[in-house]
Amino acid sequence: MALLEIENLVVEFDTASGPFRAVDGVSLSVARREVLAIVGESGSGKSVSMLAIMGLLPWTAKVTADRMDFDGTDLAKLGVADRRKIIGKDMAMIFQEPMASLNPCFTVGFQIEEVLRVHMNMDRRQRRARAVELLEAVGIQEPADRLGSYPHQMSGGQCQRVMIAIAIACNPKLLIADEPTTALDVTIQKQILDLLIKLQAEHGMGLIIITHNMGVVAETADRVIVQYKGRKMEEADVLSLFASPKSNYTKALLSALPENATGKRLPTISDYDPEAAIAGATS
């Protein structure tokens, strides 16, 4: 049975210039122990759909779906309080800007222990021990000393490690990583991706990686969903996506990679006509 199953998700925003449909009928499912990558460019609705599942969108958003099941519970039917019990515990998320996602006023240790206090019913000593254990798991040196550090005393890569520690603190069944390495340097990106995959395998989590970087997809995913302007263009396992992409849009994305350049000029999206690609996908 799939861990997360979404059918026909639609998200609409109420804006000054009328309603705007950010996600238009996306369906997806993630199994336990599976790494799903959602890839798309800005405005493809890849982040919005995940925020909608987490219930983290502002009140101006209208979320509808035919089905929204997580681990056997229907998310749409849950009240705010019940939903909060799942979010952060069984379903956790990490974001693009590690510095901005940590509260600069509190120590790293406090922020890790806060999650444990809210969700796990541990006493003070257990929490501290678990926090040290978590920092060690995400590869931070001298974890016991580091608990007292503030976010600004750490580098971007270390902050992202702490965010991951907070996310896996309650042994979630599903981890959603929204552009987890976009703000980081390549060498740090490599370390963070390796860490995520290692933790995913160890804990048997479902992992959704949202990214715009085809390289990240190639290095992490089992299965890939390609989105464009709120719609799903293609869904395939990683090897067949790269070896034989079906939709025109995916072909365009892959050929726009500079490393695949054959001549002096790079082929661009307009050479493939994305609007025609959409028409092809919907028909």
User: Counting contacts by CB under 8 A, is residue 99 touching other proteins?
Assistant: no
Which residues between 22 and 41 bind other proteins (CB under 8 A)? Answer: 41
Any contact of residue 275 with other proteins (CB under 8 A)? Answer: no
Q: Which is nearer to other proteins, 101 or 250 (CB)?
A: 250
Distance CA 116, CA 18 (A): 42
Q: Residue 273: which of 240, 243, 247 has the closest Cα?
A: 247
Told to check if 216 binds other proteins by CB under 8 A, we report: yes
- The single residue among 242, 273, 280, 281 that binds other proteins, judged by CB under 8 A, is 242
* Position 254 contacts other proteins (CB under 8 A): yes
Interface map 121-160 toward other proteins (x if CB under 8 A) = -----------------------------------x----
Question: How many residues sit close enough to other proteins to count as binding (CB under 8 A)?
Answer: 45
Which residue, 39 or 112, has its beta carbon nearer to other proteins?
39
Q: Minimal distance in Å, beta carbon 82 to other proteins?
A: 26
- Say how far apart CA 265 and CA 258 lie, in whole Å: 9
Residue 12 touching other proteins (CB under 8 A): no
**Does residue 257 belong to the site contacting other proteins (CB under 8 A)?**
yes
By beta-carbon proximity to other proteins, the closer residue of 74 and 237 is 237
In this complex, which beta carbon is closest to other proteins, that of residue 36 or of residue 166?
36
Q: Does 77 bind other proteins (CB under 8 A)?
A: no
Is 17 near other proteins (CB under 8 A)?
yes
**Chain positions contacting other proteins, by CB under 8 A:** 13, 15-17, 41-42, 58, 60, 156, 185-190, 193, 201, 212-219, 238-239, 242-243, 252-254, 256-261, 264-270
